[in-house]
Structure 1
């Protein structure tokens, strides 16, 4: 048994007494050894857990930092298929062209509409292996005319010689319609003209292509195919120019 001071009056009171004999206040109770052991055990558990966490954090600090970084998603990249060949752009399709001319001596004005170049459907032999042709329409203040122009003067066998020119009897196929026609060629000229130009212009307006047959000397039958797409616009343009010129 031990004595302690009363917290109220200072009187010495036995630790086993229920209250102070002088003022009646209850004396402070001593903490039992069991409680101290429990407190020490709890403190030990807490200390051990804290130490283990610090060790784990120091060893894995880089991993933890990486997990805390924001995840940035990379944009998906579509790799081109190298096995596929790139699509080649086709060159623009040739079309009809127009031009004008004015005689320096007389001042007379004329306009022309010309088809894209046409080559023989089967290449001719020398000296005509590079020959090409175009179908043209010309106009001036006096009228219109239709002709075939060639890079080399045609040497034809199906032609009747006339005074100053040759009369050619041949065939032209407008789309799927075959027509027998008469054409004229001045001696040695690179141009063959339609005799019936009105019918020729009408066919040019209404057809998509024309196939000309010629009996070329030393070449048997020769065929030139002309593209007529865009001809109507070109003809209308030169007619407008000629009406003003």
Structure 2
């Protein structure tokens, strides 16, 4: 029994050492992946295209790893500077909480998009009104053309009859041109309506992001606390069976 206990102790120590090495390797791989992702924040083009959820997630990653890697600390500093200069957001006013920062950026983006949508709706209404005005003008020109055509048909003076016929033709051409312009204004109004609807949908999506605040971002933890281990030991039918489980997770 003593020899068995000694052997079990040696086996347990060997497993612990192997698990420790695997955990270290996994943590190193996760840190490398995080640092690789954080390199994006040093590029201006990333900021030009980044959405609030991208910024919130990446800021959470920088905070999680800043104590483990100097590049993560540098990335956090760069992000806070960019947030201040690009968006006027001081993270210290929001407890440096990635979820709060993300929600604020989502609200700002939603307001910007909603402003664009409102401007498109205003121009849509203006162009529809213009199209209707042109259509009425086309009808008036058609009526004038008919009157000139009637005058040409019944005017006894040949010169005046010719002049009235020419005037009727000119009025018909102007009526056609005016209706074409009216159609173009209607088409433009329809395009603006579609654009506004698309923008309104984007604004709604941004509001949804703001409302959710994304749980994994708001629950971001330091990397040293995010890595956990668990072990279990079972005994069955008189045989000792040592089992181990391990889990390494990173809130990012």
Tell me which interval the TM-score lies in, with the shorter structure as reference length.
under 0.3
Computing the radius of gyration from Cα coordinates, the structure with the larger value is: 1
The TM-score with structure 2 as length reference comes to: 0.18
More strand by share: 1
TM-score, with length taken from structure 1: 0.18
Hey, which of these two has a bigger chunk of helix by percent?
2
The one of the two structures with greater contact order (alpha-carbon pairs below 8 A, sep at least 6) is 2
